[in-house]
Chains A and B, each alone.
Chain A
Amino acid sequence: MNSHLHLWLIPVLPFLGFLVNGTLGRRLPKALVSTVALGFPLASFLVVVRAAVIFLSLKPQPIPWLITYAPWINAGPLHVNFSVALDQLSLVMLLIITGVGFLIHIYSVGYMAHEDGYWRYFSYLNLFLFFMTVLVLAENYLLMFVGWEGVGLASYLLIGFYFDKKSAADAGKKAFVVNRIGDVGFLLGMFLLLSQFSSLSFFQIGSGLAANPALQGGILTAIALCLLLGAVGKSAQIPLYIWLPDAMEGPTPVSALIHAATMVTAGVYMIARTHAIFDRSPFALAVVAIIGAATAFFAATIALVQTDIKRVLAYSTISQLGYMFLGCGVAAYSAAIFHLMTHAFFKALLFLAAGSVIHGLGGEQDMRKMGGLRKHLPVTFWTMTAGVVAIAGIWPLAGFFSKDAILYEAFQHGALGKALYFVGLVTALLTSFYMFRLWYLTFMGDSRTASHSFEDHGAAVHSRSDSKLVLEAAEPHRVHESPWSMLGPLVILAILSITGGWIGIERFGDFLSPVVGPILDPAQQSGGKSLDIGLSVVAVAAALIGWYIARLFYRAKNDRPVRLAASASGIYTLLEHKYWIDEIYSNAIVKPLTLASRYILGWIGEGLIVRGSAWLLAGIATLLGELVRRWQSGNLRSYSGWLAAGAAALLLFTVVGVVLGIGGVDIRMVWAGH
């Protein structure tokens, strides 16, 4: 029965797409590359949908649906298999990954149409889908780690897609290195799990925990904190969030797929997947919640003053991931996954719409040079509006339901939860403000587009923020609406952003409860249903206040933002420079490290040992050569002289040596007939 699901096809199909495009893509025509790149993910999506339909039609649902394909590692008591598991959680993740992923593939066909390395882009994108589906299908930590590292690789390749541009190459390296720090935590967590449970299987560890209810805190806190470090790295939370804003150097659809909708949520997925461990350690959960709330607030404040449209969205992503961590931290895993899902819809939408704006403006990313685009880009405008309202958390769009669920769960989670609730509420206000600021600056008011980009630009660049121009057409570049291959996904995602929340946290929570445990039922909590409604009203009010302030500041050109910036210039500068976190890290960690390695590795390692030993050997050889080369005079009589001297020396040795008793051949013995 299990084999009928063909779960192995889900990762393998995108991998085939990667192989075909990666090896042959350079020689194939563009249309064929697109067909391959779209066909395999679509097939993978259909397999997921089919699995979902079969899965949901079974009652009672078998949980989880385990399939072991082959043994991988058999070493003593350690057994790791290539095994996958389908349960409600991985099903939701798979639907998001392949569904949103496929939409973004379609969008990319339009967006990347004029780029070099078209085939390279799509093979990387398919590779990403392969690793991401491995990550969520894996039934043990090690296979999950394979996917975990793989998506990091795909992310690195795609951030550095414009590898001839230094900032992009650097951003890719930064993302990779920062993620390595988190991976150390993941690895240590796995080692601790091995020592404690001698297994890496999620379900064996789960049953091991269930069989030992006395096991609390202690080693489990250590494991949870190690795993949390991995999640923090992958999901861009404090203190490892710094790579995500720079990751915007990649093409915009990549930002939408990897750095907003799917890969960065892997940390949230991992915490939900291993919640049994976190549940046993209140301390680790509190750390998760505090990190989440702090990141949500911190990133939102930075987003307030950014002027690059993609950077605003990047910090917004970090902030929303903070909400998800907050949800996990108050043990409301369903709420966190619910927000993960709605966020995937509206953040992918926002990024793709931003990409459409950038495409339409020929590569402009600075919001100060936009404005009034509502007339030029009507479809983009309306879909982006849906995304903005959704992320702001205004009823009845998707963001409202999921954010409200997290805030409610936080509020019901003791004193710490109440404090974090207020942080979340303020963040909701900030979120609404900066998103509507983006919306007003981009679409409303008068056009601030520099005239040359309308009239005599003569070239179009896509998502390249540097000045390298890709010649597109001979005629002047005009602001234009994007092709339908780009607008189609926008419309679908807009519909999902509007309706995605209507499932409701109750139904969603019930669906996920076999995996991650039940959510709180407001009717049975203190305050009852009315508290739930009250908190929702407060949240919407906060969002509306944020909107009102943004409207006041940015609807029409006025000097309010400038005056506010001037009146609090210290804070403004602090925010504009992102709290100087990059500079602090650079001076506190990177520079001491590079300096130390320069002196230790450079001077002692390379200078002293490598170069020193080479010089020493060469010096000895040179010195000896200088000494003995005089013998090679080429003069026959000199040679013969040395020959005679040598013979004389031998003779002397045989005679004098015997006389002195230090060896030699005693001729007298020979003489005597011996």
Chain B
Amino acid sequence: MDLHTVPTSWYLILSALLFSLGVIGFLIKRSLITVFMSIELMLNAVNLSFVTFAHEWHAVKGQIFVFFVMMVAAAEAAVGLAIIIAIFRARATLNVDQIDLMKL
């Protein structure tokens, strides 16, 4: 292993930490915006591990996949924010515990 480079496992640990942070944020935060940002965090954690593995195995497929994820995330961000704005206009709140109209 090259001493001048950061070991691969460090990238993966970082990725796991970021993903866990995203999951925790997704689970415990009440603000819809924060939940949304947590999703983005998880996506980027996954992107990081993709890139890591692509570099490790010299496989360009992983890097291409990252572009796909970023593109979908951008589209998702556009639609998601539009929905959030619409919800806020209708309910005047972004607390996910109060947005429960689908409850039985």
Q: Which A residues lie at the B interface, using CB under 8 A?
A: 629, 632-637, 640-641, 644, 673
Chain B residues positioned under 8 Å from A644 (CB to CB): 23, 26-27
Chain B residues positioned under 8 Å from A640 (CB to CB): 26-27, 35
Q: Which residue of A lies closest to B104 (CB)?
A: A632
Chain A residues positioned under 8 Å from B100 (CB to CB): 633-636
Q: How far is the CB of B18 from chain A (nearest CB, A)?
A: 15
Contact of B104 among A633, A637, A673 (CB under 8 A): A633
Contact of A636 among B23, B28, B99, B104 (CB under 8 A): B99
Q: Which residue of B lies closest to A637 (CB)?
A: B96
Chain A residues positioned under 8 Å from B30 (CB to CB): 637
Contact of B96 among A629, A632, A636 (CB under 8 A): A636
| Cβ B104 vs Cβ A629 within 8 A | yes
Chain A residues positioned under 8 Å from B35 (CB to CB): 636, 640
| Cβ A634 vs Cβ B57 within 8 A | no
Which residues of B, 5-37, contact A by the 8 Å Cβ criterion? Answer: 23, 26-28, 30, 35
Q: How far is the CB of B34 from chain A (nearest CB, A)?
A: 12
Which residues of B, 32-47, contact A by the 8 Å Cβ criterion? Answer: 35
Which residues of B, 55-104, contact A by the 8 Å Cβ criterion? Answer: 57, 96-97, 99-104
CA distance A635 to B103 in the complex (A): 7
| Cβ A673 vs Cβ B23 within 8 A | no
CB within 8 Å: A-B pair count: 34
| Cβ B101 vs Cβ A634 within 8 A | yes
Overall SS of chain A's interface? helix
| Cβ A634 vs Cβ B103 within 8 A | yes
Chain B residues positioned under 8 Å from A629 (CB to CB): 104
Q: How far is the CB of B27 from chain A (nearest CB, A)?
A: 6
Chain A residues positioned under 8 Å from B23 (CB to CB): 644
| Cβ A634 vs Cβ B102 within 8 A | yes
Chain B residues positioned under 8 Å from A635 (CB to CB): 96-97, 100, 103
| Cβ B27 vs Cβ A641 within 8 A | yes
CA distance A633 to B102 in the complex (A): 8
CA distance A633 to B27 in the complex (A): 15
Chain B residues positioned under 8 Å from A641 (CB to CB): 27
Q: Which residue of B lies closest to A631 (CB)?
A: B104
Chain A residues positioned under 8 Å from B99 (CB to CB): 636
Contact of A673 among B27, B57, B103 (CB under 8 A): B57
Q: Which residue of A lies closest to B53 (CB)?
A: A670
Q: How far is the CB of A665 from chain B (nearest CB, A)?
A: 15
Q: How far is the CB of B9 from chain A (nearest CB, A)?
A: 10
| Cβ B97 vs Cβ A637 within 8 A | yes
27 contacts between A and B (CB under 8 A): A629-B104, A632-B103, A632-B104, A633-B100, A633-B104, A634-B100, A634-B102, A634-B103, A634-B104, A635-B96, A635-B97, A635-B100, A635-B103, A636-B35, A636-B96, A636-B97, A636-B100, A637-B27, A637-B30, A637-B96, A637-B97, A640-B27, A640-B35, A641-B27, A644-B23, A644-B27, A673-B57
Q: How far is the CB of A640 from chain B (nearest CB, A)?
A: 6
Chain B residues positioned under 8 Å from A632 (CB to CB): 102-104
Q: How far is the CB of B100 from chain A (nearest CB, A)?
A: 4
Chain A residues positioned under 8 Å from B104 (CB to CB): 629, 632-634
Q: How far is the CB of A11 from chain B (nearest CB, A)?
A: 69
CA distance A292 to B66 in the complex (A): 104
Q: Which residue of A lies closest to B103 (CB)?
A: A634
